[in-house]
Every structure is written in C-alpha cells, then in structure tokens.
Structure 1
C-alpha cells in the first residue's frame, strides 16, 4: 500500500498548482476560477494523485488520478475538505457533481437537491436541509389567486429594481421577493437586503426572503466540468429553475417576474431558458422591459462604476432615496472602498 501525504495547495505555489491543473485536465475537469482552499494527496515521489477544493461553503474540483482509483483517495480528500469547512464555521455544505458520481457522494453523506439529467447534480450534507427550508417558506405563504416571485441580487438596489417590484406588486395579490444571500457581491447581503426592503417599503403586498444557499448565483455555480460556456449557462439556469420549481410549489407561486437583460449575455440566456422551463410546468414567466433613465436602461453595474470613479452624485437620479442616503452614510464607507478596489464592476 503506497504512502500518501496530504498537503494544502496554495495559489502562490506555481509548481503544485500546475500539477493540480494537469491532474484535473487529465480527468476531464478544468480548475474553477472561484476557489479559496485546495489540497492534494502526493505519493512518495511527490506526484499528485488526488485533489479537491472549496469555495465558500461548497466543495468542488475533486479528482483522482485514473491510475489510483479504487484506493479510497477521494474519500480522504472529501473527508479533509469537510473537516476544514467545519473548522471555519461552515456546517451546511454543498457540492455539484457529475450525475455518474452522485452515488459516491451519497455514500459519503450528501443528499440530492436537484439535477439536470446528464449534466450536473446539486447536493448538500443535510438529509432534510432543503425540505426544512421549504417548510419554513410554507409558514410565510399568503393566500391569493395571483402569487408572484421575484429573485434579485440588487447590487445595489436601483430604481430599475424598484420599478420591477412596483409592476409585480400592482399585477399580483402577493409577491415573494428573494434576495440572493451569497456574499459574493461588492455590496454585502445584509446591506442589499436592507436596501431592498427600504426601497420597496411603500408596497404592502411583498414578503421578503433570503435565498440561503438554494437559489444559486453565477459566482458559485461550478463551470469546471462543463466545457462549453453556453452549456454552462444553460445548465446553471436549468438547475436553478429545478430548485425554484420546488420553492414555487411550497408557496403556491404561479408567476415569476424578471427584468429584461439588454447588457448581460449570461442573464439573457438564463432568462430565455427560465421562460421555456417555467412555461412548461405551468408557472408563467413575465419578462419586464427595463426602466430607463431617459436614454438607456438603468443598471446596477453602471451605479457601481460611478461609485468606483467618485461620481457618487450621478447615481442620485437612478437609485431610490434610501439607497442614495446609504451611500452618503458612514456605514457605506467600507462598501464604497470595496467597489473602488474591485478590478471589475461591470458584469457581462
């Protein structure tokens, strides 16, 4: 039996990173750009025989050299990654895997949330985690004939977001507003949630929800085992919508409103797939034309760009007063600094 050494692979260690890339590529995987911790199992000659990584509370980029499969090495890697996650306070863990690997992870204590057949399975380490989330949502259900849902990141909340909620509220009895919980945006979740509620406080038929880890974002969806970019977007959309269908059923949602996306190719394809999938299951998908500032569509990306370039006064005409007041406050200083320090604030 060979002796293996488990070691962290740091991004600054170019030699080990190259070995990880080579092993992943050999096993048909491309290293994900979103990783914050990686490990490798090395043999006595310092050959990399297995690897795995984390990003936030997800496990990803796991592979074993084909010449060493059957030795239980991936089990060692996954067990270490789970222990590392627990040490940094992440108790609820998620992973995405190929469909033919789902049984292996089920044997390690992960349970299926949703899948896109032949492409990807979304799993978590709690047997009843998603069902508990759905049960909590049911407690917030409100009776009505027309029950709508809106999912938004609101990074930050603009007059465009406000217009979408106003239109949705005017056309439905109840609107469930889901704000993406993942803190991968330049404006933190607690701030975004606060600004959404403040900017829509005049609408009395809204129910607000954090998405938790179940409605996923581009930042956390793994692209490492789907090579074609268009396929990545479509698989992400289908997986996300398969999760949303279960959320909609728990709340009696029969309509989902989304803003038209003239700027982002990713969101444009996502909306197209969403409409196809939801229409097919009896949930009406309403795509709302974007509110303009008189010439072009209002965009959170443009708001972030103005903040980054010290043109704060220019955002006053495209965000609610509550959003503008926040960015003038002391509380906003670290958020503004994060935006100024960001390499890219425009999302395509």
Structure 2
C-alpha cells in the first residue's frame, strides 16, 4: 500500500495544491509557517493532498497526515524524503517542530527533545548528544555565586554593547555572554565573536560563549534574521526562550539583561515575550536603557552606515578601540566590501 504513494515537491506558484496543503494543516490544527523554503506532499488518486511536510533551513516543520490515512506509514515516507532533501543541501544537523502528540514518532526515529512550548509545540534534533553536549560544555564554565546572561549579535560590537555588558556584569558574580553564532550578518560570526572578546577582555567575570544553533538561530528564531516585521512569529520567540530556560538552569542564571529596543519590532516582540515568560521560571529580566551620545542611541546600524560611507571618525566615536582598530586594518577589507555592496545596512 505504501509503495503506491509518491512524495512530490509542491511549488509555491502551485496555488491549488498549496491551498490543499493549507487546508490539511488547518484540519490537523497546524498553521502553515511563513518561513518555508521547501514543501512536499503526498496525494491520493484524485490528487487530493493527504500528507505534507516542509523545510526551512535545517529544520523540518508543518508536518501533517490526513487522519483518515494515519497508521499507513505516510509520515515515515515524508520524513525520509525531507531528510534526503536536507542531506542533498549539506544539512546533517536537523531540527524538527511538531505537535506534542507527534513527538513520540520522532523520538522513535532517533530524534531527541530539546524543549517544548505551552504544551503545544515540541522542538527536537537528530543528534543524540547535540543539545546535551552543548549543555555539558556550558556547565563546565559555571562558577560560584550569582549568574546572569546577555545574548547579542554584535554586528559589530559597539560602545552600546559594552555599556550593556558593564551594567550586567556589575550586577552579578558571573555574566555569561552569548554571541549569536548564525552567520547571517554582514560581519561574520568569527569576527563578531573576536571583537566581543576583545571588547570585554578587561571584565574578569564575563564568560563569552557561542550560541550555537540553540539561541536566536534560524532553527529557533528565523524571524530575527528575515527581518519581516509583518510576519514576526511570536511562537518563534517563545521557543527560543524555552530553549534558553534550559540553558539558564544549567548555568544557574537567574537574571537576563537586554538592551532597550525602541526601533526593531522583531527584537521588541522578543523582549516583550521574554519579560512575560522568564519570570515564571525564576529569571528576572532587566531592560537596560540604551547608551546615548549626542542625544542619539549608540547602535550597530549607525556604525554600519558609517562604515558604508567611509566615515571612520563616526565609527571611532561609537565603538571600543579594539573594534575600531579591526575596521581600520587591512584585514577588514573583505567585510567592508560586503558592507559597501549591501545597499540598506540598517536591517542586518
């Protein structure tokens, strides 16, 4: 029976089949994610969609099988197809979003649960020691006393970032500073992390970490990188914060510090959800006012604009010496070239 069914790609322009996909997802209590880059379906002899699944980046999502066909192995066929698609893309570390009642199916396939949200969504990965290994490595950096956390993209590291770190570090015995690892910014992760480490090197109680795929990544929070304010998915923020809660428990973090965000709707939604969710698990959230100079907040987007314009004096006024020295060096030429070609550099 299973061999009779074929998994086929659904093109975004195929409005009829995509409409059937939406109808099936809705019937199964799932809303199609706005962030998808591949969708497939299984159809019956009358071309009715009876099963569907999708990808975004290295995640599998929007998986559903018509209730009349459940138990016939269609979900397994979908997952096999989607994993093949991911492997062809070169993605071997995979993540899955699924409903709570489907989680056991993926666990039986070898996926491991990372976190769940509101009893409605489960987030899993296909590595037995992925998140568990990440937590163990973090645990090795735990120190006695109070602990806080800051998460930043630092694209690039500015005096505003430095101000946030100083305020946070003064309030706790140890500050765990997570640099977003996703390489979706104009300044590459390797450079961003290096500039953060150089910019906080004098603060003995600050420990710098890579966020990996577990904090503000395309797996946990794609809205952050797509910068599509209209399509901001609050569920992504809740998932990211649910994962962070497990990380915080491993490090004994009871305070999280965030910069005030008056302009970015995406970050604003994230901060609001954080302020709602983290106190419920005993983590206090501190919203730190932006550092200002000349009556304007110091922001990375202002620095990127200045770099694009070749205005190094403005850059010098807004960043630590270590950040300025990098951008004034020959080593920064490839990064500066990317910034010059980027057009609008504000929303990176």
TM-score (norm 2): 0.82
| Aligned: 1:316 with 2:313 | no
| Aligned: 1:21 with 2:18 | yes
1:294-334 C-alpha deviation (Å, 9 max, x unpaired): 21111222323344455455322112222223333344333
| Aligned: 1:72 with 2:69 | no
1:24-73 C-alpha deviation (Å, 9 max, x unpaired): 32123665454454544466777765443333322224344667554433
| Aligned: 1:134 with 2:135 | yes
Structure 2 residue runs of 5 or longer lacking an equivalent are 224-228
CA distance in structure 2 between the partners assigned to 1:253 and 1:45 by the alignment: 55
Aligned twin of 2:244: 244
1:250-296 C-alpha deviation (Å, 9 max, x unpaired): 11222211111111223223223323333333222222111012211
8 A Cα contact 1:21 1:31, kept in partner? no
8 A Cα contact 2:20 2:48, kept in partner? no
Distance 1:68 1:186, change over 3 A: farther
Structural RMSD (CA)? 3.2
8 A Cα contact 1:137 1:251, kept in partner? yes
Structure 1 residue runs of 5 or longer lacking an equivalent are none
CA distance in structure 1 between the partners assigned to 2:20 and 2:338 by the alignment: 35
CA distance in structure 2 between the partners assigned to 1:202 and 1:312 by the alignment: 25
> Which structure 2 residues correspond to residues 173-192 of structure 1 after superposition, within 5 A?
173-192=173-192
> Which structure 2 residues correspond to residues 300-311 of structure 1 after superposition, within 5 A?
300-311=300-311
CA distance in structure 2 between the partners assigned to 1:283 and 1:6 by the alignment: 45
DSSP 3-state at the match of 1:258:
strand
Distance 1:23 1:333, change over 3 A: farther
CA distance in structure 1 between the partners assigned to 2:50 and 2:339 by the alignment: 40
Distance 1:65 1:327, change over 3 A: farther
1:187-217 C-alpha deviation (Å, 9 max, x unpaired): 2211111111111122222111111111134
| Equivalent residue pairs, number | 338
